[in-house]
Structure 1
Amino acid sequence: MSDQPRRNGPSDEELGMDRKISRRDFFDGASAAAAAGIAAVALSGCGAPGERTWSASPRTPVPAEPGTDYPPGMEGLRGNTQQALSIPHTIRDGRLGSVVNTSAVSDTGEHYDLVVVGAGISGLAAAYFYRKKNPGAKVLILDNHDEFGGHARRNEFHAEGRDQVLIGYGGTQAIDTPSIYSDTAMGLLKELGIEVDKFEEFFDQEFYNRWDLADEGDTVFFRAEEFGRDHLAVRAEGASVREWLKDAPVSPEALDEIVMLYDEPQDWLPGLSDGEKKERLARLTYAGYLRDVVGVGDEVLAYVETLTSDEWAVPASTWGALDAWGEGYPGFDGLGLDDSRASPLNSFSMRRFWDFEDPYIHHFPDGNASIARLLVHALIPGSVPGEEKLDMESVVLAEFDYSKLDTDDSDVRLRLQAPCTDLRHDGSPSSAERVFATYHRDGGLHRVTADHVVMAAWHVMGKYLMKELPSSQRNAMQDASKQPLLYANVVVRNWRPWVELGMRHIRLTGGDWAVAQLDYPVSMGGYEHPQNPDEPIVIQMIGAPSAGVQSLKQGAITGRHRTLKRDFASFERSIRHTLNRTLGDGGFDAKRDIEAITVNRWGHGYAREYTSLWDSFWPDGPTPAERARKRLGRIVIANSDAAPNAYTDIAIDEAHRAVEELGEA
């Protein structure tokens, strides 16, 4: 494997930054024409009129007509684009009046039984549950993005040499551990035509063995920035930890310490009971435990820093030691802890998943975007022309017509690029008969009325949208700071380098990216995952920008600010440089091999976990989420922030709870 000494980075020309690839441009997802003359708040994130784009059809590229770009096919910088965040940020900063005349609100004359704010899975599920209870109800769904689904985002690509579209996921990966889903959440999936057992057939479970690709967790890229020189360590089958890392750029002492953590752990908390050990771990970060209790040096701390990043979106210097024990990270086996059940001090996710070991195979080619698409079609049947019924297979290649999402003749209307700016009752919340919902679109403010509202957007925005809330509830909403995430999809002309190097998943020890991996081998509904290493494929790269050695909340804020300031060019450069370094010994050349890049930048990503390390109220409560989700008159609160827990089933359960509250006196 490569042992390149640290040196100045390659030039943009060497990386292929001058090579035209299938991408939009460097204007954060906005068209070049729009960037030249249209106010940022009105931008759609679409390509320039007439720019060549790709339809959702599995075969045929078509030139884009003005205003007809297909959001899943947009490349470049996606996710929380500047356009999607511009109005929410002006509201947060108290600057909305400097962007638009807030006194000139246009009354549309529209009245709905329900307005839903937020078109993520929770908001879409809320609309579904409401319509199920109230057939024929008129519903309007508002969202600030140019795409529905929230973090459940679909990315499509047309790769040279492949007739069929390549599909990637730009956020929520999978139906994680369906055996733990509530009857409500699983019932919704079944009603949408999703049978989770079928993934045993759709997910090619022999794919990795067929190509002799090392298991996840068995490949680490030591970066020169942390270790002095680059080194890719791929663990051969049956190799010990010492054999695996014998050529790694660490001192003999550090190697001994790493081997000790994996293979020779001791009881580093002697004389303490099981409960006392867990209480001690609950007050330490994982890195702090290794440094202050185990006594490892800085090299080992650098080695483990990103070990938690993929799963929890935060580094080891922030993530709690007790949850690191529960997750099975190295360094705890010698403590002799009772693992028959989770500790009450473990995080909520750790506790709820404790006894469940579902295989990680319940994955659509576009992640859980297919769930969002099925919900939209169930709510707006005309969204897929000619398709009266979709199921888990037919939805994969279904071509949605976004012009049909908001039409006068539909009982349910989904209004994208329409960020809500204000929610308030027509009178006292305790007695009002309707709610005013104001949103921004086309440079102005517009208002509709509704019998009820489900606020399913980020709770951090609830503080600004619902000024009728008591101050304690507004402050509780402000606590719901999400963890930032980066999900980049990189289309490469082949995946031969991965086969040559014998790996499928790489953990990096630092930088923008914690993980680079081959897309999951799922074929279903006519969609075929690449089968031959000489075919194009999607490489997914995951980054967790949260800053280390800070609380979960503060680290998220720091990481979000850094991430949202960056443009697409900086991410592209980082991706090209990273892949050249990690895959170079397999014959990879970014300049030659990269065909397309989409970076899904989620400044507001995972709902953060409550942990005993950072939250004094955990686990006994009450929690900020309990206060934040309290009903206000005709407005109820959904979103996974209301738990808070960053999983699809929780988003569905919170939507159901919110809708049920509307039926209460």
Structure 2
Amino acid sequence: MAEEPRCPASRDRELGMDANISRRDFFDGVAVTAVAGAAVTALAGCAPGGDRPWAASPAVPAAVPDGADYPPDLTGLRGNTQQALSIPHAIRDNRLGSVTDTALVDDTGEHYDLVVVGAGISGLAAAHFYRRRNPGAKVLILDNHDEFGGHARRNEFRPEGRDQVLIGYGGTQAIDTPSAYSKEAMGLLRELGIDIEKFEKYFDQKFYDKFKLAQEGDSVFFRYEDFGRDHLAVRAKGMSTEEWLADAPLSDEGRADIITLLDEPEDWLPGLSDDEKKTRLAEITYTDYIRDIAGLGEEAVDFCRSLTSDEWAVPAADWSALDAWGDGYPGFDGLGLDDSRPHRLNSYSVSRFWGRDDPYIYHFPDGNASIVRLLVHRLIPASVPGADELDMDSVVLAEFDYTELDKPENDVRLRLASPCTNLRHDGAPGSAERVFVTYHSTDGKLHRVTGDHVVMAAWHVMGQYLMTELPSTQRLAMKDASKQPLVYANVQVRNWRPWVELGMRHVRFSSGDWAVAQLDYPVSMGGYKHPQDPDEPIIIQMIGVPSPEGMAPAQAAISARHRILHIPFEGYERSIREALNRALGDGGFDAKRDIEAITVNRWGHGYAREYARPFDRFWPDGPTPADTARRKLGRIVIANSDAAPNAYTDTAIDQAHRAVTELFES
């Protein structure tokens, strides 16, 4: 039996908060170093049964890192850092001053055929599509982060004793369900040298069986805070649900409820037709279904709370019961529903993946950051010195030179840490011949360039502030695109023996700061070798989904974002160490001894919000806010996954293609 957790502050030394790993943090653009153990003596809710949110702590200023830093190599707090968000937040809060006053804005004299705002997959794909139609075009790409790729983020680690870098992904995981990709999206992948079929060899599909690691979904950590005792339940091959839950901290009634939900669901909507049942499910959440329709107790509700979290970035209480059925979550088999096709009220993503069974193997070691890197190299060949061409293999270990991204001689220039502050036509949008693009530079000043065309591929919630020429209805529609927050943490550990001892590769937490923790996917390609020996260092990936229960996802996202953007690295680190110690302790894991490095990718603006019942009453008949938000204005078109809205790589590519097509067809 796992010991009941004590207040984290009383365990800082035991957890290894004094260990020698990188703790560089950022606060409002200034690098700081968190002082481990010197600040908060306790997290909130240390009493038994209380919650344990991440803690804030004081910090001591340190030197700002110089331009020689290689972004994928940086540990500590990454993603939507305070540094990246400081100017966007100043614009939002009207603290930046006038961005059109010529006394405040330096006109650089630069003119481009195209300016792209946002260096994520959609913005980079838009630049590519534009140059494919206009090969000699001069393009400038602006982004507020110190790294390109948006959520497709690469994290690198260099363990002592390993002769090769460890590569992880800090955001977009994979080419999900490629059979659903449009001809434009798949065509771009092929153009970049990506052969989907090669992943069938690169992803070691026998890896988990070789080490007898349980399937994803078969390991659940029952948290003390929910069930009164910490307990890790690992379902070995051939084990029944009753055997799996035999030692779990459940009452006899709670155990019976969960077994019923998983193995023996009844027809809890008797007397209704197939369509009536589905319509009823669309009007309630998954939690409502378990509690109110199935009549199961709170232990079953607590068991399912995080089932939807890592896939949809919301807890079960904020996800449609109809989509839970469509996505294969437990509890619906007894309803006898026709599953030959999706129901009209299913969300877009659930509908488009219907009946497709692509394996989840289309994964680069850095997730879809390799797609981004291929795009950047195609746009700026000098970004990888000495490499005339890159493909899906050679890009994995390619060394990018960030000093080459914004050279005057480039046809395409990529300007990082340069958030756009204003987009305005030189005259009436319908007749203007150019667009003024103002941005904030690393020199602390506002600068302006001009462009024949602009692709606004940044978050739509920023578009409402950048594009003041837009009609109020369109700006309001952009405001609706409140992304779902996520936290992706990569933890370098000295070995993965505890996972083998416990017989699992993935664990779901019943609640708390982290939804899941898992071993990095077994992908070897392009000279990169995934760890094969349990005594080798490896990356553990953890996903946190901070959106609270009990409110519509859009409002929950705002609440969660406000919370996580004020948490320093120390708060995340302590939470990671405690969670892994509690879940893996019976396998011999010791956070103080075993954790060697941590990178936390904090995405306050994460997944594009999926339209879904019961919260979005306009779905699917429309019109939707995205329909209004993506309308072309003069020489400015709108891209990004928000324009769909749909949080997938192919969506970002499709929206880029649509936006560029609008420019050339106008």
Question: Where on the TM-score scale, by shorter chain, does this alignment land: which range?
Answer: over 0.9
Q: CA deviation at 1:150?
A: 0.1
Structure 1 residue 160: Cα displacement: 1.5
- In 1: Cα distance, 2:531 partner to 2:101 partner: 52
Could you list the per-position Cα deviations for residues 578-601 of structure 1 after superposition, in whole angstroms to 9, with x for gaps in the alignment? 110011111111001100000000
Once the two structures are superposed, residues 375-431 of structure 1 have per-residue CA deviations (whole angstroms, 9 ceiling, x without a partner) of 000000000000010000000000000000000000000000000000000000000
Match of 1:412 in 2: 412
Equivalent-residue separation in structure 1 for 2:100 and 2:585 (angstroms)? 51
Indicate the SS of the match to 2:319.
Answer: coil
Give per-residue Cα distances to partners, 1:209-267, cap 9 Å, x unaligned.
00000000000000001111100000011111111011111111000000001111100
The residue number in structure 1 matching 2:193 is 193
Q: Is the alpha carbon distance of 1:650 and 1:26 closer, same or farther for their aligned partners in structure 2, counting shifts above 3 Å?
A: closer
Secondary structure of residue in 1 paired with 2:665: coil
How much is the aligned-residue C-alpha RMSD, in angstroms?
Answer: 1.8
- Give the residue type in structure 1 aligned to 2:226: E
Q: Distance in 2 between matches of 1:26 and 1:631?
A: 36
Q: Displacement, 1:4? A: 2.4
Identity of aligned residues (%): 73
Partner of 1:55: none
Answer yes or no: is the 8 Å Cα contact 1:23–1:74 preserved in 2: no
Measured in 2, the distance between the counterparts of 1:631 and 1:612 equals 28
Question: For 2:289, what is the secondary structure of its paired residue?
Answer: helix
Contact 1:480 1:608 (C-alpha < 8 Å) held by counterparts? yes
Q: 1:14-65 CA deviation, whole Å, 9 max, x = no partner?
A: 1110111145357588534999xxxxxxxxxx9957x8xxxxxxxxxxxxxx
Aligned counterparts of 2:504 and 2:207: Cα–Cα separation in 1 = 12
C-alpha deviations, 1:506-534, integer Å up to 9, x for none? 00011110000000000000000000000
The aligned residue for residue 653 of structure 2 is 652
Matched with 1:528 is 529
Structure 1 residue aligned with 2:155 = 155
| Structure 2 equivalent of residue 468 of structure 1 | 469
State the match for 1:208 in structure 2.
208
Q: Unpaired runs of 5+ in structure 1?
A: 36-45, 52-65
Verify the 8 A CA contact 1:394 1:525 in the aligned structure 2.
yes
Local SS of the residue matching 2:318 = coil
SS at 1:427's partner residue? coil
Q: Which amino acid aligns with 1:371?
A: I
| Aligned counterparts of 1:223 and 1:98: Cα–Cα separation in 2 | 51
Please tell me whether residue 557 in structure 1 is matched to residue 571 in structure 2.
Answer: no
Listed one character per residue, the Cα deviations across residues 532-589 of structure 1 (whole Å, up to 9, x for unaligned) are: 0000000000011111111010111111111111000000000000110011111111
Q: Is the 8 A contact 1:28 1:568 kept in 2?
A: no
What is the rounded CA distance, in whole Å, between the counterparts of 1:33 and 1:577 in structure 2? 21
**Where in structure 2 are the equivalents of 1:559-638 lying within 5 Å?**
559-638=560-639
1:219 aligns with 2:222: no
Distance 1:283 1:562, change over 3 A: same
Matching of residue 312 in structure 1 with residue 335 in structure 2: no
- Could you give the per-residue CA deviations for residues 77-122 of structure 1, whole angstroms, max 9, x where no partner exists? 0000000000000111111129998841000000000000000000
Counterpart mapping for 1:149-298 below 5 A: 149-298=149-298
Q: C-alpha separation between the residues in 2 aligned to 1:435 and 1:564?
A: 33
The residue aligned with 2:50 is none
| Structure 1 residue 655, shift from structure 2 partner | 0.0
Q: Decide whether the 8 Å contact of 1:160 with 1:493 is kept in 2.
A: no
SS in 2 for 1:317: helix
Deviations 1:447-477 (A, max 9, x none): 0000000000000111000000000000000
Given that 2:27 and 2:81 are in contact with CA atoms closer than 8 Å, whether structure 1 keeps it comes out as: no
Structure 1 residue 163: Cα displacement:
1.0
- Taking the aligned partners of 2:103 and 2:226, their CA distance within structure 1 comes to 54
Matching residue's letter, 1:557:
I
Matches within 5 A, 1:343-362: 343-362=343-362
Deviation at 1:162, TM superposition (A): 0.7
What is the identity, as a one-letter code, of the residue corresponding to 1:346? N
Alignment of 1:52-201 (within 5 A): 66-97=66-97, 103-201=103-201
Query: What corresponds to 2:456 in structure 1?
Result: 455
Read off the aligned partner of 1:567 and give its amino acid letter. P
Deviation at 1:612, TM superposition (A): 2.2
**Partner residue, 1:516:** 517
User: How far did residue 7 of structure 1 move?
Assistant: 3.7
- Aligned partners of 1:101 and 1:30: how far apart in 2? 27
Structure 2 residue matching 1:370: 3-state secondary structure: helix
1:641 corresponds to: 642
Structure 2 CA distance for partners of 1:99 and 1:593, relative to 1, 3 Å: farther
Distance 1:206 1:30, change over 3 A: farther
Whether the 8 Å contact between 1:214 and 1:235 is mirrored in structure 2 is: yes
Q: Could you tell me which amino acid in structure 2 is paired with residue 652 of structure 1?
A: I
Aligned twin of 2:51: none
Q: Secondary structure at the match of 2:97?
A: helix
Letter in 1 for 2:381: P
Is 1:8 aligned with 2:7?
yes
1:426-505 alignment, distance < 5 Å: 426-441=426-441, 442-505=443-506
Query: Match of 2:529, as an amino acid?
Result: E
Distance 1:608 1:100 in 2: 32
Q: Distance in 2 between matches of 1:501 and 1:47?
A: 41
Q: Which residue of 1 aligns with 2:400?
A: 400
Query: 8 Å contact 1:29–1:78 — kept in the other structure?
Result: no
- Find the residue that maps to 2:487 and give its secondary structure: strand
Distance in 1 between the 2:437 and 2:21 partners? 42
CA distance in 2, matches of 1:483, 1:123: 20
Kindly indicate whether the alpha-carbon contact (under 8 Å) linking 1:100 and 1:443 is maintained by their aligned counterparts in 2: no
TM-score by length of 1: 0.94
- Kept in 2: contact 1:29–1:76 (CA 8 A): no
1:285–1:319 Cα contact (<8 Å) kept = yes
SS at match of 1:11: helix
Distance 2:510 2:225 in 1: 9
Which whole-Å CA distance do the structure 1 matches of 2:471 and 2:222 have between them? 50
8 Å CA contact 1:377–1:383 kept in 2: the answer is yes
Q: Does the CA-based 8 Å contact 2:26-2:82 persist in structure 1?
A: no
Equivalent-residue separation in structure 2 for 1:351 and 1:398 (angstroms): 38
User: Matched residues in 1 for 2:269 and 2:31: separation?
Assistant: 59
Q: What SS is found at the alignment partner of 2:574? A: helix
Q: Distance in 2 between matches of 1:509 and 1:575?
A: 15
Q: Please state whether the residue corresponding to 2:354 is helix, strand or coil.
A: coil
Specify the alignment match of 1:389 in structure 2: 389
Checking the alignment, whether the CA contact within 8 Å between 1:424 and 1:466 is kept in structure 2 is: yes
Aligned pair in 2 of structure 1 residues 539, 5: CA closer, same or farther (>3 Å)? same
Q: Deviations over 1:298-356 (max 9, x none)?
A: 11111100000011000001111000001111111000000000001000000000021
How far, CA to CA, are the matches of 1:29 and 1:194 in structure 2?
Answer: 37
Task: Give the length in aligned residue pairs.
Answer: 639
Residue 12 of structure 1 aligns to a residue whose secondary structure is: helix
AA at the equivalent of 2:196: V
Change in 2 beyond 3 A, CA 1:603/1:32: closer
Report the CA distance shift for 1:623/1:257 in structure 2 as closer, same or farther (over 3 A): same
**2:631, 2:638 within 8 Å by CA — same for their partners in 1?**
yes
